[in-house]
Structure 1
C-alpha cells in the first residue's frame, strides 16, 4: 500500500460536558454553549483536512447538533464530516457517546467498533467499582491519497472507580495489541488514544497506559518550548471551584512504532472568552502530529 514520507495529522480531543438539565453554578445550557463549541471545532480543524475530532460526554441531541454544524451545506450530496460511535447505555442512541469525527473524502473507514470497558465488553455493561457505563470507540482509517493507516481510539474513563479505570486501561491496551497483531495489523502505521481519563499522571489509568502499555504522552513528546501552547490543566470546572483544576485529558501515542510519530505541536485551548460562556468544564487538547512512513 502506498505511503508518503510524512503525513500531517491534527487530533483534537474535548470533553464537551453533556447537555444537563441541572447546570452547575457558572454553567450555561447547551443551547448557549453549542455555537461556541462549533466555532472551536471549525476553527481548529479548518486548515488540516486530516484532522480527527474526538469528543466525550456527547448526548444524542448534541451529536446531531455537532454533526449538522460541521456540515452546514444542505445542497451537497456528500457530507464533509462523518463520525463513528454509539450511545454507551444501549449501543444505539441512549447515554453518552465518545465519537470520532473524520472527513470521508480524506479517510477511508476500514473498520470500527465500540468496546464496553467492563467484564462483558461486547455489550452495554459496567463492572468493578464504576459509577457509570464506560466505552472506548475504535476505528481504523486509511488515508485515501497517501495510503497511511491509523488506529484511532477515543474514551472517557470513570470518574469514581479507580479499580474500573485500571481495568479499563488494561482492556484498551489489549485491544491495541489485538489490532496490531490482527489481519489489518500490517497496514497500521500509527496508533493514538485520546480522551478524558479521569486520571492524573500519578494515578492508575495513566500509569497503566504509559508504563505498562507503552503509550507516550504528546505533552511530553514536545521537545521545543515554542511548540507547546496554552495552560497545563485541562479540567477547569465552571469557575466556582466544584473541583480543583487538573490535567486529565490526553492524547497518547503508541510506542511499538514510536519512530512513526513526530509531535510538532501541543496545545490546551482556552474554554472561556470575553462572552463569559464556558464551552465546557474541560478545555480542548490539540496535538499536531506527523506520521512518518
Structure 2
C-alpha cells in the first residue's frame, strides 16, 4: 500500500466565549453569536483536512456547534469531539474540546488532564481562579496512517503561578506520550493549541517555547510578511478598558534551531492567520479571534 510522505493539515483554535447569562457591554447573547461562529468553522475547514480546538465551551454550546457543523455535512464527513466539562469531568463547566471527522481521523486514545497538583481529578491548585484542563487526543490519519498527538488547553486568567506550573505539566505530559510504550513509536508530530492567557514575555509562553522545550510558536515559523489578518487575538467586546493582546496560540513540535531526540523536524508551517471576529453587522462572534495555521506533517 502506498503511504503518503507528507500530510497537509489545517488547525484552528478559538476561544468562543462561554454563553453567559450576564453579557458584557457590547456582547451579544450566544443565540446571536452561534451562526457567525459556525460560518467561520465551516468555511475554514470545508476543503482541507482539519482539526478544530475550542475553549470556553459550555455543554449547550457544544451541542449547538456539533449540530451546526453536521447540519450541512455529508453523513460520511460528520464531525465528533473529545472533551469533558472541567468542573466534574462530565458536562459541568467549560470544555476545551477537539473536533475531528472520524472518516478522516481514527481516534486511538484521549484523556482530560486537570492542570493542578491532582491532574487525574477535577481540581485547581496554586493561585488559579478557576479549574483548568487540557484535552489530549491521539489521532491516526486513515489515508496516510500518520499519527498526531493533539493537545488543547485554556490556562488561568488570573493565576501567574498556575500558568507557570500548568506549562510544565503540559510539557511533562507531552514527553510522557512521546517516550511512552503505547504511542511513542507511532506519533509523527505534536501540536498544542489554546488560550494561554499569557503574552509572549509572560510565564506560560516563555516556558512552553523555551530553548529546552520541543515546542515553537507557529507564528514564528511563517515569515511575518506572509501572515494573514490580525496580530492580536484577544479584543474584548470594546468596553473592557484593556488593550487588545496576543494570548491565543498554536505551538508546533520543533523548530530548525531545536534538536529533537528522534532527530527530525516533524512539521512544515506554510500559513498563519488570525481571523476577524466582527464584520459589517457589528456582532462580535467572540471576544477572541480565531488562530488558523496550515501545516504539512513531514515524512
TM-score (norm 2): 0.94
Over residues 3-33 of structure 1, what are the superposed CA-to-partner deviations in whole Å (9 max), with x where a residue is unaligned?
A: 4221111000000000001111000000000
- Structure 2 runs not aligned, ≥5 long: 255-259
Q: Is the 8 A contact 2:273 2:292 kept in 1?
A: yes
Q: What is aligned with 1:16?
A: 16
Over residues 240-266 of structure 1, what are the superposed CA-to-partner deviations in whole Å (9 max), with x where a residue is unaligned?
A: 234210000000011237612011100
Greater shift, 252-261 or 10-19, is seen at 252-261
Q: What is aligned with 1:140?
A: 138
Q: What is aligned with 2:257?
A: none
1:30–1:258: structure 2 CA closer, same or farther, 3 Å change rule?
A: farther
1:94-243 equivalences under 5 Å are: 94-182=92-180, 183-211=182-210, 212-223=212-223, 225-226=225-226, 228-243=227-242
Q: What is aligned with 2:50?
A: 51
CA RMSD, 1 decimal: 1.6
Q: Is the 8 A contact 1:4 1:292 kept in 2?
A: no
Give the match's secondary structure for 1:252. strand
Task: Give the Cα–Cα distance (whole angstroms) in 2 for the partners of residues 27 and 63 of structure 1.
Answer: 19
Task: Give the Cα–Cα distance (whole angstroms) in 1 for the partners of residues 27 and 155 of structure 2.
Answer: 22
Q: What is aligned with 2:27?
A: 27
1:156–1:2: structure 2 CA closer, same or farther, 3 Å change rule?
A: farther
Q: What is aligned with 1:284?
A: 290
Task: Give the Cα–Cα distance (whole angstroms) in 2 for the partners of residues 258 and 135 of structure 1.
Answer: 30
Runs of 4+ aligned structure 1 residues displaced above 6 Å come to none
Q: What is aligned with 1:250?
A: 249
Q: Is the 8 A contact 2:253 2:266 kept in 1?
A: no
1:107–1:243: structure 2 CA closer, same or farther, 3 Å change rule?
A: same
- Structure 1 runs not aligned, ≥5 long: none
Aligned residues: 290
Task: Give the Cα–Cα distance (whole angstroms) in 2 for the partners of residues 224 and 199 of structure 1.
Answer: 20
TM-score (norm 1): 0.96
